[in-house]
Chain A
Amino acid sequence: MEFLRDPITFIGNWLEGLLLGWNIAPGVASALVQLLGAFVVGTFSLALVIFTIWMERKIYARIQDRLGPNRVGPWGIFQTFPDMIKIFTKEYITPDGADKVVYNLAPILTVSAVILLWAVIPFAPKVVGTDVNVGVLYIVAIGAIGTLGIIMAGWSSNNKYALFGAFRTVSQMVSYEVPMVLALLVPVLLGHTMGINSLVQAQSVWFVVLSPLAALLFFLSSQAEIGRAPFDLLEAESELVAGYQTEYSGLKFGMFYVGEFLHAFTISALTASIFLGGWRGPWAEQLPILGVAYFFVKTFVVYFLVIVLRITMPRLRIDQMLNFNWKFLTPIALVLLIVTALVEKILQLLGQDSVLLRISVHLGMNLLIIWGTVEILRRMARKERQRVGEPRPVAIAPQTPASD
Chain B
Amino acid sequence: MLNDWLFIGLFFLIVAIFPGAPILIAGLLAPKRTTPAKTQTYECGMETVGDTWIQFKVQYYVFALTFLVFDVELVFLFPWAVAFDKLPLVGVISGIVFILVLFGELLAAWRKGVLEWV
Contact = CB atoms under 8 A, between A and B. Distances in A.
A327 interface: yes
B30 A119 contact: no
Interface in B1-15: 1, 3-8, 10-12, 14-15
A348 B89 CA distance: 10
B41 A247 contact: yes
Contacts of B41: 95-97, 158-159, 247
A107 B46 CA distance: 27
A364 interface: no
A9 to B, nearest CB: 15
Contacts of B117: 318-319, 322-323
Nearest to A180: B74
Contact of A95 (B14, B26, B42): B42
Contacts of A46: 18
Interface residues of A, number: 87
B interface bracket (residues with beta carbon within 8 Å of A) = 35 or more
Contacts of B17: 42
Interface in A83-126: 87-97, 104, 107-108, 110-112, 115-116, 119
Interface residue SS majority, chain B: helix
Contact of A130 (B7, B57, B89): B7
A161 interface: yes
A160 B103 contact: no
Contacts of B29: 88-89
A362 to B, nearest CB: 14
A108 B89 contact: no
Contacts of B18: 42-43, 46, 111-112, 115
B25 A88 contact: yes
Interface in B34-73: 34, 38-44, 48, 52-54, 56-57, 59-60, 63-64, 66-67, 70-71
Contacts of B25: 88
Contacts, number: 218
A15 interface: no
Contacts of B64: 170-171, 174
Interface stretch (A67-75, A293-301, A334-342): A334-342
B11 to A, nearest CB: 4
Contact of B23 (A96, A107, A327): A107
B99 A95 contact: no
Interface in A128-177: 129-134, 136-138, 155, 158-161, 163, 167, 170-171, 174-175, 177
A35 B32 CA distance: 36
Given A42-B18, A331-B106, A159 B99 contact: no
Interface residue SS majority, chain A: helix
B78 A194 contact: yes
A250 B26 contact: yes
Contacts of A38: 7, 10-11, 14-15
Q: Which of B15, B43, B64 has the most C-beta atoms of chain A within 10 angstroms of its own C-beta? A: B15
Nearest to A159: B41
A119 B100 contact: no
Contact of B82 (A158, A188, A259): A188
A326 B115 contact: yes
B26 A193 contact: no
A107 B1 CA distance: 32
Interface in A176-207: 177-178, 181-182, 185, 188-189, 192-194
Contact of A251 (B26, B78, B82, B106): B26
Contact of B48 (A42, A160, A330, A337): A160
Contact of B30 (A31, A88, A130, A327): A88
Contacts of B66: 326
A216 interface: no
Interface of B: 1, 3-8, 10-12, 14-20, 22-23, 25-27, 29-34, 38-44, 48, 52-54, 56-57, 59-60, 63-64, 66-67, 70-71, 74-75, 77-78, 81-85, 87, 89, 92, 95-96, 99-100, 102-103, 106, 109-110, 115-117
Given A89-B31, A161-B42, A330-B106, 9 more contacts: A90-B26, A90-B30, A92-B27, A108-B19, A112-B15, A130-B7, A171-B60, A192-B85, A345-B87
